[in-house]
Structure 1
Amino acid sequence: MTEMLFRTDPYQRSARGKVTGHTDEGGIVVDQTIFYPTGGGQPGDSGLIAWDGHEMPIATAVKGDGDDIVLVPAEPMALPPIGAFIEQHLDWERRHKHMRVHTALHLLSVVIPLPVTGGQVSAGRGRLDFAMPEAPSDRDGLEAALQRLVEQDLEVSETWVSDEVLQATPELVKTMSVKPPHGAGQVRLVRIGRGGDQVDLQPCGGTHVARTGEIGSLKLGKIENKGRQNRRVNLLLEN
């Protein structure tokens, strides 16, 4: 089992780790990592690892067997041996953009309160697909409402609830295409705002900024027709 350091501190940029295994595909399994693995519409992190005078670029991270996280080298080269200690360094600029975009997509689901049928995060842009038969009539109003939520500088935090609590409150689940994991006993919820200022609470395993003000300026991109009942709303960071 890989300890997910990004879960306790998404701002941690470097960390030590121990190699616990190799995959048949040439990946590196570690005992703890700051690299977020591809999942939930968010790409895996990239960066660099170093050990005993060697350096290796990491293209991404993926989920392995059970609760393992696998670091995927960017190019073929000799892997650090099992038992070796490595230093892990994130491509922080890319990760931070993922955090900003992912948090902004949560806000997009607030200003467009419709079921989400899909989504994707990338560095600097993202999109949500909505069960929306008609395109929104006031695009400028949506963009302004989104920016107001950013400028409120709302706190972003997490809480955990039992599987039973989530099952009893299905309205928390906005995404129709990806169901929160069950069976572990607890599910992580990401909260935006506190008390009377709370605007969102939904299951999510991704990485997020600490406050919405950190997202910065946003712009709505294309609103695309993705079928009779679906519209894709694109979102871009402006800085």
Structure 2
Amino acid sequence: MNINISAKTLILPLRPVAYRCVPSKMNFGASILITIFLVLMYSCILDTRYATEQELNDAINNSDFDDKISRELDSYETLKDLLTAHLDTLLDYRNSNNIVIQMGANSQVVDTVLEYEACHSFFNGNSDYDINSVPKFLQKPINRAWSQIGDRTSFTICKNKEIRIVAKTDALGNGLYISHELMWNQANDKNWRRYLLQKDTSLTEDCIYRLGLTEHHGH
């Protein structure tokens, strides 16, 4: 089995609803509060111990591909085939609700616009992202296919027909996480979430199984 390991840069997943701040005049009290907040945030960053290069390499090298995911590939491909068949419909529906709210001073809404995205992600835990964010006639079929592979999974679809299903994400400790994802039609890598380190193996001619390492420290 050929395994490729490469370094990548982390890109945050897309959001169907976003908030943007529009520059405006700020009173002195507000500027003081923001300054205090930035100082506290910077202090937290300084206190965070990030993994060394050796620790990152050890984490990816000691992570194994999950045989259970490989054995259940047919179930993942059932969901993939359903998403592929309705790709344009799903993307058009999500883009029709992809609202960007621009915020000004004192959290006042300056403007609300629709913004087109080439890729959209779906996962449980938030109605903006889960099965409720697809057309009604697709909710039951997708939910049925989704439930067969577990509610911890998430998936991303793109206009160029690239599809990614994250089967699971394991916490390794010390802020390090390994994601197990299956990818199809990966013409290029520009639309995918990048990883600090990753290694791939091919399950079929068009399916890549990737292990991706990320690092997150909450405060």
TM-score (norm 2): 0.25
- Give the structure with the higher percent strand: 1
- Give the structure with the higher percent helix: 2
Q: Based on CA coordinates, which of the two structures has the bigger radius of gyration?
A: 2
| Structure with more relative contact order (C-alpha pairs < 8 Å, separation 6 or more) | 2
TM-score (norm 1): 0.23
